[in-house]
A = this chain, B = another copy of it.
Amino acid sequence: MVGKAPITIKDIGRALNISPSTVSRALKNHPDISQSTKDSVNAYAKEFHYKPNTLALSLRMSKNNTIGVIVPEIVHYFFSSILSGIEQIANSEGFNVVLCQSDENYEKEVSNTKALIATRVSGVLASLSKHTNNYDHYRDVIDSDIPLVFFDRICIDISTDRVVVDDYAGAFAAVEYLIQTGCKRIAFYSSPLQLEISKNRKNGYLDALIKYGLQVDESLIKVCDTREEAIVITPEILDTPNRPDGFFAINDHCAAGILYACKLAKLRVPEDVSIMGFSDGELARACDPMLSTVEQHGYEMGRHAAKLLIDKINGVTHGQYTNKIVKTNLIIRGTTR
């Protein structure tokens, strides 16, 4: 090999017709990569005396004590409360928090990850934009040896730590309460259904209906997760001969829009229609009647996510993955019977 440049991950990829990131993960024995691919990569690497670029590795290992956070929207109370929890733990552990928002936009989320990789942050905490369907930019984070923890809107296609609320149990309890207080036709307003939180809450909703022998009506399941959308679509659903007598909304903004639309339609809340939100915060208490909702502890979620990430950065939990589930609470106020 004298006089020849050592082979790189790219060379191996080219020779085996696979991507450099697959080669990198195969060399690290990543669980996403098949055993046969790992075997070919390791055989090729051995035959051609592949050596990891130790300078690059040591640069990567140098710590700058900065955590990058990607959130869909800072102004959303739930995300700002998570951020507040992250900031609290990070600062107490001597880390700075670099903030990126995706604005619920896939392209911006990709550029956020690129910027954080270029900045060589110590770790990344991320919650997916609701329009993200492709996760290669997060694979790039991992391939750059930057620890990654997902929170709330997670990606199950990537093996990493995650912090979520018990979306299924929270939704099941919310819908069960609506049924137990007399609702028979319950609508569910959801975020886009490819998101894990939407799938899990929908399953909680469906299982509660099934447990109590209520019919599932797909026409009562709508993709709608903002106040503005709820104000637009709710009059239509209220104007059907067999209108719903209960609503379960994926967040309090959406529940506040449903409440507004019900009042405009001269329906009494909760006598004629019950409404249950999800989140809790000042918005829920500002509504009249105050919203019944599923309290999800954003600040706690942020603290857990930051702790998991810092443990990863410090090598405490190297090679393990944790799936932390934060409990929710049902808060019964004025919009349910």
Contact = CB atoms under 8 A, between A and B. Distances in A.
For the residues of A in contact with B, the DSSP-based class is helix
Contacts of A84: 73-75, 101
A216 interface: no
A285 B259 CA distance: 12
Contacts of A129: none
Given A96-B119, A283-B286, A285-B227, A75 B66 contact: no
A99 B87 contact: yes
Contacts of A9: none
Contacts of A111: 91
A115 B77 CA distance: 26
Interface string A114-158: 010001000000000000000000000000000000000000000
A289 to B, nearest CB: 9
Nearest to A66: B98
Contacts of A81: 74-75
Given A66-B98, A75-B80, A287 B285 contact: no
A263 B288 CA distance: 10
A256 B80 contact: no
A253 B97 CA distance: 27
B282 A256 contact: yes
A26 interface: no
Most chain B CB atoms below 10 A, which of A66, A100, A227, A285: A285
A83 interface: yes
Nearest to A121: B96
Contacts of A283: 282-283, 286
B100 A98 contact: no
Nearest to A78: B75
Contacts of A253: 282
Interface string A266-291: 00000000000000011101111000
B91 A83 contact: no
A82 to B, nearest CB: 10
Nearest to A285: B227
Contacts of A112: 91
A104 B112 CA distance: 29
Most chain B CB atoms below 10 A, which of A66, A256, A282: A282
Given A74-B83, A80-B74, A91 B97 contact: no
Contacts of A101: 84, 87
Nearest to A284: B286
18 contacts: A66-B98, A69-B99, A73-B84, A74-B80, A74-B81, A74-B83, A75-B77, A75-B81, A75-B281, A84-B101, A87-B101, A91-B100, A99-B99, A256-B285, A263-B288, A283-B286, A286-B286, A286-B287
Given A87-B101, A256-B282, A287-B288, 4 more contacts: A73-B84, A74-B74, A74-B80, A97-B99
